[in-house]
Structures are given as C-alpha cells and as structure tokens.
Chain A
Amino acid sequence: MSQVVSLQKALELDVARVGGKTLHLAELDAAGFQVPPAFVVTTDAFVEHFQRAGAGALLESYASPGPTQLAMLRDHQLSPELVAEIARAREALARRIGNANDADLLCAVRSSGADEDSASASFAGQHATYYYTGAQDIPQRIIDCWLSCWSSQAIAYRAANDRSAPRMAVLIQQMVLAEVSGVVFTRDPTEPVSERLVIESCWGLGAALVDGRVTPDRYRLRRIDHRLVSTKIGTKRFKVAEDLIDPEGTRLEAVPRHLQRRETLEPEMLQRVAELGAGCETHFRAPQDVEWAIAGGQLYLLQSRPITTVIAAAPQVKGRWVIFKPIIENFTEAMTPLTIDIVRRVIPRFGQFIDGRFYINFNMIKALVPLDISDAQLADLSLMRPRVDADVPRFDYRRVWLPVLLGLMGYLSWGMLLVRTRHLPSQALAGFKVRCAAVIADDRLDALTATRRLFYGASPFAPAGHLAFQVNVSSARYFILMDGLRSLLARYAPDFDPNLIGSLCAGSTDMLSTRLIEDLRTVAKLADSNTTVRRLFDEEPAETLSARLAAEPEARAFMSGLEGFLARYGHRGTREMELAAPRWQEDPTPLLGMISNMLDATQSDDDRGTNQRALAERALVDALPNRLARRIADWLIRRIRYYATLRENTRHFHVMALTTIRQKILELERELIATGALKCPDDIFFLTWDEITMLRGGQSDWRDVSILIRTRRVDHARLSERMPPSTFNIELDPREADATDLSGYCASPGTAEGIARLVLDPATDAALRPGEILVAPYTDPAWTPLFVNAAAVIVEVGSYLSHAGTIAREYGVPCVVDVEGCMQRLVNGQHLRVDASNGRIQVLSKPATEPAP
C-alpha cells in the first residue's frame, strides 16, 4: 500500500492513517468546498521511519526522546523510496494546478495527527506547520512535523487529554498566497451561549494571525442570519507576506501605515466567509474553527476543526488578589512572557502575575491596613477608587501592632530617603541617564543583571539620581497628604466641592510629561514654519515620511529639532512598561504621526487648566474662612503638587531603565538570529530567561522553541483582548449604572457634551477635532496631544493618579477613569454627555450599530 496518497484518495482511508485534519479536508473537498490541492504522507510512513531509526519504543508510549535521541532522529533521513514517492506526488500536484514549472511550486507542510482535530481534542497549535516549502525542503519538514509530536507542549496536551501513543500523517498542500486570510469560529469561543459567530482577519497569510503576531480585525455576526453585530478594527502592524522576496528572510513584513487600521473584509466577502463557516458546521454538525484565505478574489478553505475548548473565564487562583493599578493603567494588554519573567525576578512574593497582569496579595494589604472596613471597601481603596460619600473609616486598634512594627522598620529602612526626597529638583534625577548609559556600555551585563543593577544595584547612600525606583516609591506620601487635605476640607470647608481638589493640586511647571508635549509642540512648529516640511507631512505616507525628511535639505532645521527631542525623550513610546514595545528612538514614525496630528489639529483653549485652577482657588477662599486651616491647606496643596510631579517624573526614568533593559534584550536577539537560534524579530519576548539561556548555550535550538513561541503568541493575543478582572476571590460592591449610562470615577471635574471618538492607537488614528470626546483603553504620553482638543476624556482603566487623570487636570479637561466596558459599549459618533464630577457618562444619541454586549 502506498504511503503517499492524494487528498481524494485519503477519503478512502481511515483517520488513523491520514489524520483528522486531512480527513476533514478530504470530506470538504468532496462536498464541493474550495480546498487547495494536496497530498498526504500517511502514518504508515511515520511508523516505518521511526522503527527504521531504532526508535520504535517511542511509538508505544508518549514518553519524550532525550536530547541525544532527538538530535539523532532529526538527522535520520527518509527512505529513498519514500522521498521518490513524495517527489512523484508533488509533480502530480503541480500538473493538477497547471504549474508548468513545478520547481516554482511552494507548499505548506502541515501536521495531521491521528488524534488531531477530533471532537474532544484539537491539538491546535501543538504540532508544527511550515510554509513556503520548496521541493528540496519537503522531506526535512516532514521529519520536523513528525518530531513535533514530542514537543513539550504536545506531550503535556496529550497527557492531559488522555491520548494514546502518537501517530502522525503529514499534509502537503499548495501554498495559497493570500492577500487576506483569517479564522471563523462558528460559535464565539469566549461566549459560547451568545449565538454569535466570530470572524478574525488580517493582511497576508493567516500564519500571522494563528501565531498571534497581529491583532486582527474582529467581526461578530448573528449565527441565525449573519447580521453584523460589531466590528473591531485591529492595528495590523505586521503581515506574513504573500510574496516571499527573500527566501532566507523572516517572512514578517511591516504593513504600510495607511493599511494598518483599514478593514480587511468588504461586506460581501464577510458574508461569504460567514457562509463558508456555516457550511462547514452544517457538514460536520458541530461548531467549527475554520481557517480560510483569499487569493485573487477566490475564497479558499484551508482547515476546519471542531471547537473543542472555550477560553476559560478566569484561571483557578488560590488566595485573594487585587490588580496593581499603576501598571494596568499604563497599558491594558497582557505582558509578554519575557517581560514577566525578568520583572518577577526582582519583585518579592507579595505580588503575582496572573494571565500577564500584575496582582498584589490582598491578604497582605488587609494585614497592613488596620482600618475597620469591609473587604470590598478595602479592595476599592487598593484599586485607587475614591469613596467620596463613604464614612471616614475607623482604626481597628486590635490589628494595629503589625503595621506599627512594620512602619518602624520601614522608617529605619526608608526614613533617610523620605527626608532626601522632600525637596528634590527634577534635575537631580538626571544622573540616572548616566547610569543607564554605563549599563548599556558594560558588555558583561545581560538583560537580567542589568535589571538587578538598575533597580537594586545602587547603594542606599548613592546619589538620588541613581535611585529612581526608590524615589518613585517615596512619592507615595502623596496619598497620605491627599487624604489629609480631603479630611481638612471636609471638616472646615464642608461646602467645597471635593472634586475640585484635583484642580487645586494641578499646575506644576516642572512635570516632564507636560514638558514633553511642549517640546513636541515646538518641533511641530518647526514643521509648520517650513512649507516643504509641511507639504511632506500633508502628502507623504507615514511609512516613508521619516526617510523623505532625512533626505530633504530643506528639512534640516526640523530634523535637528526632532533629534534634540529624541535625545531627551527617545526612550519613551506607547506601552512603555512592556519590554517588547518599541521606543521612539528605534522608530520615530509614531512620533511623526503625533506631530502630524498636532499640525492638523485646530488648537483649543490652552488656558482651560489655568482657568479651572483659578476657579477652584476662588471657591476655596470662599469656602474656607479659617486662616490657619487655609495656611495648612495651602501647604498641603504645594506638597501634593510636588509629590505628584515627583511620581510622574520618576516614571520618566523608570521607562529609561526599561528601555536600557530592552536594548540588552535586542542585542541578545540579534546574536540569536545571527546564529539561527531565532528566526523572527520579537520572538525572544515569548521565551523565558531560562529558555533564552539554553538557546544561547546551544542546549536547544529553533526547532525546540518554535512551537512554544507560536503557542505563547496566540495565548498572549487572546489574553490581551480581554480586560482582566480587578480582583480574584474578592466580591466588589456593584457599580451604580443603568443600561444606557456608564459610570467611572472622577479624575478631573467638569461636564461636557460632544461626539465620541474611540482611539486605540494615538499615532495611527487621526487627530481629534475640537469638541470631540476622547475614549481610550488607557493613556500614556503618546496620547497627550489628543488631550489638547478633547472636550472630555473617558478611560477604561486608570485612577486619579494615572497619566490620564494627571494630564487632564493639567489641561483642565473633564476626565472619568475606570469606566468598565467603555471601549465595547461606546461607538464612534455617539453624542455623549460626560458629568466627570459625578463619574457618569450618558449616551444622548443612539449608536449607529448595535454595540456588543
């Protein structure tokens, strides 16, 4: 019996010989679906190959081969008879698709395990797939597919699902050089009861989506009639190109900026994809996860497998945990595995990363805060949610001994630093830049030792400029002083609106975040003052703008201004607490996007912040006649302003430390790519430090980590889509909100009405028009130019002290933070009323399309 059969012949064999994936495709091909032509190497060849290699024992159990045996198996070639049979099948495939020169035919080599894509276990992402495979590489790729049976993930998956010993066929399919591709889940895997199907799509080959390299466009449609329910356009920065220009290259290409936020599917094609998914579900009588691709206007079905799992609502977590707000309010996506692995090694065990987000041990907080309040109230305090109407909590004197003891020890450990940082000018922190430069220059330091050096390496008596992390922690006194000011005003000025306290404490002239915007505005003015530069900004696509500006003699003054800006702020960028996030100094394109936004924007009233402050100060004078209380209040306000500035400015230096660590990682990545241990940029961020060390030491190679990286990329993409729970195992008080309104917490007071503008990426989304309301998942410095024109700001996560709150108060813009679900429930173009003082958002006009629940 032949060990290589065509897809049509595969239908005559059973699943044990051709695998679940092949059998499903063969059935669909026979049913008339557009399936790319293919042939299959059966499990007989698999068994014979490993028996011939003396590894028959592996076929009887799911034990893993050791490193020596694995290396031997990799080098053990296919039998000449099988190689000849494969070559004949490939020639037949070339003839069938009318390819005269079969040397040009590229194939996808895909695993098709005997227990794969069954109703109970899909093995999705556990086994290998290889694209762009030419004739000479097919035999080795087949061996690589077979060996992926014994990857650590596949073994674990098999053990967990009680699978039998491995048997794997390999499907060799014509490569569909797709312009657009994606996945359709005929039942939403995150909400199985929702009666919706989900279509995800991206530019180029679907590998980028399946590997989690891009955030796809996501369409939700009703299962019953395929009516579109919601659309979420992803920022598709990369694609796996349909044309392989450089065969040795990484395949991953940057998507032109103008296409990154463009919809990949027209309505008609969207319906065809939905029908394709529904057709597969009808055929197999079970919900399906279908991979598809569009090439030359043709819609191809690449794979269909049953949906075997749904994303767990939450992991099983022991203990009680509350999310650490200062990180989540800077970016809401999950952290990458390498960022987590490096950061967790310098953090003591009072914290824990759950699904890529950092949580604090709530039981520890409870032991340290001797207040007589409920767990829900304490969790609210930990989440920095103000409880304006709540009674002042009482001390629980029975539990006071531990905080007092720890407080005394803390005073001895931190007292000197607290004294040192009472009057610390921001220039005194500039020494940290020298420290970072020294770490970069020191070749003996790797990313992990650099992290330890930058965060803990300095002696307690080193200059404050070397202790940016500790100085940041010392600025937490802000909370105590703010609480003191609130209590004072509640006692002596009961008529004073507590929401105005934020405006009173704003107005620092020394804050680096606001100075950054002023400096960027100066650079934008340089662009505006030169007609050639201005024309380039108006006409040149973003992806080529940087190169054109560099080549343009007329743009010298502008480029010099930009270089000066990058020298001061180049270490910053979007998602800057994430080590995988690129910085402006590496790619200034987002910065040019921000300048372009500034050039397009009609400036709103820049004095809103000053006016708001003046109003608040007048209200305080009227409400607080007691002169002594006034003087104390003034002192508290000055101190709060100082510590808020210190906190924001030290963050500038934290980010500098993270950028330094990132540079060390990128050095390592270049080294690993040069040796072939890694293939694609950014893959390093999906490995742990120990795995990288093994790669570097030659104890493992690309084949050991490629599937691991792919699996983790997919996990990361899925986790990043979800807003994480604020707490684990703690019942929070329900929010006061009705079906049409959203609620959050006031970070900057005031009311405003305007049109909603949802912004996911401040560099690619167009500038806000004056009077529009900015709706964002979170904000960081890259968002700040949008505040200038915003009538109000609504942020999904954040707190009073978050970047959004701090900047909104500086600009006098009403701002509501911690508005759960605002990115899902609000849509562009809705008319909103924002009552920031009371933390309420009212939708005045109906949405254009029904939002997702």
Chain B
Amino acid sequence: MNAVLIFIVAIPLSVELCGRLLGLRDVWLVRDARPGAVQRLIVPTLVLGVMVSWAAPEHLGTLLSGLLLPPLWQVVTGYAMRLVTRIPRFQARSISSHDRG
C-alpha cells in the first residue's frame, strides 16, 4: 500500500520539482525574477526530503520510478507528436467549396 502511495505522490512532486527547476533556468537571465524562482524550489525540495526519508530504503526504487515517470513521459509524447504530424493521414486536411473535379 505504501509503495502505491509513494508512487502516486511522487508523480506530482516530480512535476512540481522539475517544473520549478526548469522555471529557475528559464528566468536565470532575468535578474529580478531569480530570487522568486529559487524560493519556489524550497517547498518541493523539502517534500522530496520527507519522501526520501519515508521511502528509504525499501521503496526508494518506487519513489525513483514515480519521479522519473513525468520527464520520461514528456520525452516520449513530445517525440511521438513530432512523428505523428509527419504522417500525412494524421495531418489536418483542407477542403474547399471551389474544389473542382
């Protein structure tokens, strides 16, 4: 039961943590926005610490899988989308009332 719970909680935690880390990178060159972006990392990092202490040592693998799922999913769907839109039958069509023949 704990393993399932850890896996489920790890997914939004991963989304928040990765999103906020990338958010920090996004605003890195905007000096005024940097402190806010760092602050926003505090809560998910603390939650990660709690999660690690809760899951360790027997469920660390489960926690890790939950944390890895969103970035991996994003990579797979991102590239799948790119491939799908290259296949003509999955592309949008165009029709016209002036189509002849």
Interface residue ranges, A against B (CB under 8 Å): 153, 155-157, 159-160, 311-312, 314-315, 317, 340-341, 343-356, 358, 409, 411-413, 415-425, 427-428, 452, 456, 459-461, 463-465, 715, 718-719
Q: Report whether B84 and A348 are in contact in the complex, using a CB–CB cutoff of 8 Å.
A: yes
CA distance A428 to B101 in the complex (A): 50
Question: What residues of chain B lie closer than 8 Å to A340, measured between beta carbons?
Answer: 94
- 8 tightest Cβ-Cβ pairs between the two chains A and B: A419-B19, A156-B101, A315-B97, A415-B15, A353-B94, A715-B98, A344-B92, A416-B19
CA distance A352 to B96 in the complex (A): 11
Assuming the contacts A352-B94, A353-B92, asked whether A465 and B26 have C-beta atoms less than 8 A apart, the reply is yes
Q: Report whether B93 and A459 are in contact in the complex, using a CB–CB cutoff of 8 Å.
A: no
Q: Flag whether B40 is at the interface (Cβ < 8 A).
A: yes
Question: What residues of chain B lie closer than 8 Å to A314, measured between beta carbons?
Answer: 97
Assuming the contacts A344-B93, A347-B92, asked whether A413 and B101 have C-beta atoms less than 8 A apart, the reply is no
CB < 8 Å neighbour of A355 from B15, B20, B23, B97: B97
The distance from the CB of A465 to the nearest CB of chain B, in whole angstroms, is: 7
Could you list 23 examples of A-B contacts with CB < 8 Å?
Answer: A159-B101, A311-B97, A343-B92, A344-B93, A345-B85, A346-B91, A349-B89, A352-B92, A352-B94, A353-B93, A412-B15, A415-B70, A419-B18, A420-B26, A423-B23, A428-B30, A452-B85, A452-B86, A456-B82, A461-B22, A463-B25, A464-B26, A719-B98
Assuming the contacts A420-B26, A423-B23, A428-B26, asked whether A412 and B69 have C-beta atoms less than 8 A apart, the reply is yes
Assuming the contacts A160-B101, A460-B78, asked whether A423 and B40 have C-beta atoms less than 8 A apart, the reply is yes
Q: Report whether B96 and A715 are in contact in the complex, using a CB–CB cutoff of 8 Å.
A: yes
Interface size for chain B: under 10, 10 to 19, 20 to 34, or 35 or more residues? 35 or more
Q: Report whether B19 and A418 are in contact in the complex, using a CB–CB cutoff of 8 Å.
A: yes
Residue of A nearest to B70 (CB): A412
Residue of B nearest to A411 (CB): B15
Q: How many A-B residue pairs have CB under 8 A?
A: 149
Q: Report whether B94 and A344 are in contact in the complex, using a CB–CB cutoff of 8 Å.
A: yes
Q: Report whether B92 and A351 are in contact in the complex, using a CB–CB cutoff of 8 Å.
A: yes
Q: Report whether B91 and A347 are in contact in the complex, using a CB–CB cutoff of 8 Å.
A: yes
Question: What residues of chain B lie closer than 8 Å to A311, measured between beta carbons?
Answer: 97
CA distance A424 to B74 in the complex (A): 20
Residue of B nearest to A458 (CB): B78
The distance from the CB of A439 to the nearest CB of chain B, in whole angstroms, is: 16
0/1 interface trace, chain B 62-101, chain A, CB 8 Å (1 if under): 0000000111011101100110111001111111111111
Q: Report whether B93 and A352 are in contact in the complex, using a CB–CB cutoff of 8 Å.
A: yes
The distance from the CB of B11 to the nearest CB of chain A, in whole angstroms, is: 7
Question: What residues of chain A lie closer than 8 Å to B50, measured between beta carbons?
Answer: none
Question: What residues of chain A lie closer than 8 Å to B70, measured between beta carbons?
Answer: 412, 415-416
Q: Report whether B95 and A424 are in contact in the complex, using a CB–CB cutoff of 8 Å.
A: no
The distance from the CB of A714 to the nearest CB of chain B, in whole angstroms, is: 9
CA distance A419 to B43 in the complex (A): 14
> B23-73: which residues lie under 8 A (CB-CB) from chain A?
23, 25-27, 29-30, 32-33, 36-37, 40, 69-71, 73
CA distance A344 to B91 in the complex (A): 6
Supplied contacts A344-B91, A419-B16, 7 more A-B pairs, CB within 8 Å = A340-B94, A344-B94, A352-B92, A354-B96, A427-B29, A456-B78, A715-B96
Q: Report whether A317 and B30 are in contact in the complex, using a CB–CB cutoff of 8 Å.
A: no
Question: What residues of chain A lie closer than 8 Å to B22, measured between beta carbons?
Answer: 416, 420, 461, 464
